[in-house]
Amino acid sequence: MRALVVRLDSFGDVLLAGPAVRAVAHRAERVAMWCGPQGAPAARLLPGVDEVLVWEAPWAGFSPPAVDRADVGRMVERLAAGRFDAALVLTSFHQSPLPAALLLRMAGVGHIAADSVDAPGSLLDVRHERPPDAHEAQAALALAGAAGFPLPPGDDGRLRVRHAPAAPELTGPGPYVAVHPGASVPARRWSPDRCAQAVRLLAGAGHRVVVTGGPGERELTAYVAGAHGVDLGGRTRPPELAAVLAAAGAVVTGNTGPAHLAAAVGTPVVSLFSPVVPAERWGPYGVPHVLLGDQDAPCAGSRARACPVPGHPCLDGVRAKDVVAAVGKLLGTGA
């Protein structure tokens, strides 16, 4: 059987699909993932993925492209060339799987499963009801099971990535705490000043600190690291970032892809979690973690990208010393 797993949005979303991918791979001879450009690097890290199809869908992402008839047609042809026997369309609770299902049906995929609250017509063979309030990883696994793809025996269903080799040339010798100050949207970011203060306090408490970030975050990571942390801004592609997070004693980050990458390599997380999306669905999965941030703030559940409340109180009410205490709790140092 040739199977396709669809997850068209971000890096972290694709990581959360990992357990469901392994379930599909247990029954399928070959598994491909259909992802957007942001999620494709995560798909390449997932065990069980043999091939990654990348396409920027006009119904997904923060800045989706306009609908282009020729481009859509080319994607249908690519899907048809894959000769997939079955497809699993994974979406968040607020997304519809039906646009992707339509293209899959046009490509000749014979068995399509998805969670859907809308009547799917002839687009789905398995119309599954998402478990209420389930974590995204659990919801994906539930759909996989309903489609005939249970987890293999002995698989604990946690997040996982392919082997992350050590990166001492980046981090230097000895234990450390990783701090990742960036996030995909402003509503999910702790302020740079608070991040920088946390790095200073962590260093003062005896922790060595490395600060991570993407190529567009070098100015941010340099400011946050200051004279007290190792600045790795722009120096880690996803495989290297996985290695850096795997070797950390704990990771301090917001609700963003590296939080899920930390969970996938088994590292405890201090999660500065803005409640614009529910923590029970998007929090760190399967690892020890401490959740910081006011989960009952006025922005809760709004899915806002920019904070709608002056002063960003849900996150900037968190003090740097709260982060230091949370790191101490996870490391068992109490400091």
Q: What is the pLDDT of residue 316?
A: 87
- 216-258: pLDDT as tens digits: 999 999 999 999 999 999 999 999 999 999 999 999 999 999 9
- 45-98: pLDDT as tens digits: 999 999 999 999 999 988 899 999 999 999 999 999 999 999 999 998 788 999
pLDDT at 197 over 90: yes
pLDDT at 335 over 60: no
Range 2-146 classified under CATH 3.40.50.2000: yes
What gap in Å lies between CA 68 and CA 78, rounded to an integer?
Answer: 15
- Kindly state the percentage of the chain with pLDDT values over 70: 99
Domains 2-146 and 168-331 share a fold: yes
Range 168-331 classified under CATH 3.40.50.2000: yes
Q: What is the pLDDT of residue 334?
A: 60
Sequence ranges of the domains in the chain: 2-146, 168-331
- 149-182: pLDDT as tens digits: 999 999 999 999 997 777 778 888 889 999 999 9
Q: What is the pLDDT of residue 310?
A: 82
Pair 76, 57: CB distance under 8 Å: no
What gap in Å lies between CA 249 and CA 176, rounded to an integer?
Answer: 6
What gap in Å lies between CA 221 and CA 234, rounded to an integer?
Answer: 9
pLDDT at 333 over 80: no
What gap in Å lies between CA 84 and CA 105, rounded to an integer?
Answer: 11
Alpha helices in the chain (DSSP H): 11-16, 18-27, 40-43, 69-81, 98-106, 136-146, 168-171, 192-204, 218-225, 238-246, 257-264, 279-282, 313-316, 320-331
What gap in Å lies between CA 68 and CA 56, rounded to an integer?
Answer: 11
Pair 171, 291: CB distance under 8 Å: no
| Per-residue confidence band for 291, with pLDDT thresholds at 50, 70 and 90 | very high
- Kindly state the percentage of the chain with pLDDT values over 90: 78
Q: How many CA atoms lie within 13 A of 175 on its CB side?
A: 9
Q: What is the pLDDT of residue 292?
A: 95
